[in-house]
Structure 1
Amino acid sequence: MNHPVEVASVRKDPDIIIIGGGPAGLHMIFQAGMHGMRSLLVDALPQAGGQLSALYPEKYIYDIPGIPQILAQDLVRQLQIQAEVFEPDYHWGEQVSRLEFRDDNWTVGTQTRQWQARAVVLAGGIGAFAPKKPRCTALEQFETRGEVLYHPQSVRDWQDRRVLIQGAGPQAVEAAIIAARHGACEVNLVHRKDAFEPAPGQTESFQNLRQSGRIRVHVPYTVSALQGEPALASAVLKGYGTADRQVETDLFLPLLGYGAALGPIKEWDLSLKQGGIPVQPDSMESPKPRLFVIGDLASYPGKNKLILTAFSEAAIAARQAFNYIYPGKRIPTAYSSNLGPLSLDITRPGE
Structure 2
Amino acid sequence: MSEAPVREDAGPVDLVIIGAGPTGLFGAFYAGLRGLSVKVIDALPQPGGQLAVLYPEKFIYDVPGHPKILAKDLVRLLVEQASMFNPIFCLGERAVGLRREDALWAVETDRGIHRARTVLIAAGIGAFQPNRIGKPEIDQYEGRGLYYVVTERRPFRNKRLLIVGGGDTAVDWALNLKDFAAHITLIHRRDQFRAHPGSVAELMRSGVEVRLFHELKALHPGPDGWIREAVIFDNRTGEETVIPVDAVIMSLGFKADLGPIKGWGLETVGSRYIKVNARMETNLPGVYAAGDITAPEGVEPLNLIVIGFAQAATAVNYAATYINPQAKVFPGHSSEMRLR
- What TM-score does the superposition give when structure 2 sets the normalisation length? 0.73
Could you tell me which residue of structure 2 aligns to residue 266 of structure 1?
A: 262
Question: Retained in 2: the 8 A contact 1:61–1:71?
Answer: no
SS of residue matched to 2:268: coil
Question: Retained in 2: the 8 A contact 1:35–1:331?
Answer: no
* Alignment of 1:59 onto 2:60: yes
Relative distance call for 1:193 and 1:45 in structure 2 (3 A) is farther
Deviates more, 1:324-333 or 1:201-210: 324-333
Name the amino acid aligned to 1:58. Answer: F
Could you tell me which residue of structure 1 aligns to residue 28 of structure 2?
A: 29
Name the amino acid aligned to 2:36. Answer: M
SS of residue matched to 2:184: strand
Question: Retained in 2: the 8 A contact 1:192–1:221?
Answer: yes
SS of residue matched to 2:178: helix
SS of residue matched to 1:301: coil
Could you tell me which residue of structure 1 aligns to residue 164 of structure 2?
A: 166
Structure 2: distance between partners of 1:303 and 1:127:
18
Cα offset, 1:126, TM superposition? 3.6
Structure 2: distance between partners of 1:169 and 1:332:
39
Could you tell me which residue of structure 2 aligns to residue 4 of structure 1?
A: none
* Alignment of 1:290 onto 2:286: yes
Cα offset, 1:330, TM superposition? 8.8
Structure 2: distance between partners of 1:196 and 1:327:
49
Offset from partner CA, 1:72-128 (integer Å, 9 cap, x none): 624444332221111223345654332333344333344444433232111233455
Question: Retained in 1: the 8 A contact 2:161–2:184?
Answer: yes
Matches of residues 6-155 of structure 1 in structure 2 within 5 Å?
A: 10-11=8-9, 13=11, 14-44=13-43, 48-50=47-49, 54=54, 57-61=58-62, 64=64, 67=65, 69-71=67-69, 73=71, 74-92=73-91, 94-127=93-126, 129-137=128-136, 149-155=147-153
Structure 1: distance between partners of 2:330 and 2:189:
58
Structure 2: distance between partners of 1:93 and 1:246:
41
Structure 2: distance between partners of 1:122 and 1:226:
45
Relative distance call for 1:219 and 1:16 in structure 2 (3 A) is same
Relative distance call for 1:302 and 1:175 in structure 2 (3 A) is closer
Question: Retained in 1: the 8 A contact 2:59–2:68?
Answer: no
Structure 1: distance between partners of 2:214 and 2:37:
53
Could you tell me which residue of structure 1 aligns to residue 216 of structure 2?
A: 222
Question: Retained in 1: the 8 A contact 2:144–2:225?
Answer: no
Could you tell me which residue of structure 1 aligns to residue 197 of structure 2?
A: 200
Could you tell me which residue of structure 1 aligns to residue 251 of structure 2?
A: 255
Relative distance call for 1:45 and 1:184 in structure 2 (3 A) is farther
Name the amino acid aligned to 1:177. Answer: L
Deviates more, 1:229-238 or 1:130-139: 229-238
Unaligned segments of structure 1, at least 5 residues: 1-7, 342-346
Structure 2: distance between partners of 1:295 and 1:325:
22
Structure having the higher strand fraction is 2
Name the amino acid aligned to 1:221. Answer: E
Structure 2: distance between partners of 1:103 and 1:237:
62
Cα offset, 1:26, TM superposition? 1.5
Question: Retained in 2: the 8 A contact 1:119–1:291?
Answer: yes
Name the amino acid aligned to 1:137. Answer: P
Relative distance call for 1:289 and 1:328 in structure 2 (3 A) is same
Deviates more, 1:253-262 or 1:298-307: 298-307
Name the amino acid aligned to 1:200. Answer: P
Structure 2: distance between partners of 1:330 and 1:196:
46
Structure 2: distance between partners of 1:146 and 1:16:
44
RMSD: 4.2
Could you tell me which residue of structure 1 aligns to residue 3 of structure 2?
A: none
Structure 2: distance between partners of 1:198 and 1:333:
38
Question: Retained in 2: the 8 A contact 1:163–1:188?
Answer: yes
Q: How high is the sequence identity, in percent, across the aligned residues?
A: 31
Relative distance call for 1:228 and 1:85 in structure 2 (3 A) is farther
Offset from partner CA, 1:254-276 (integer Å, 9 cap, x none): 21123332222233331212443
Name the amino acid aligned to 1:179. Answer: L
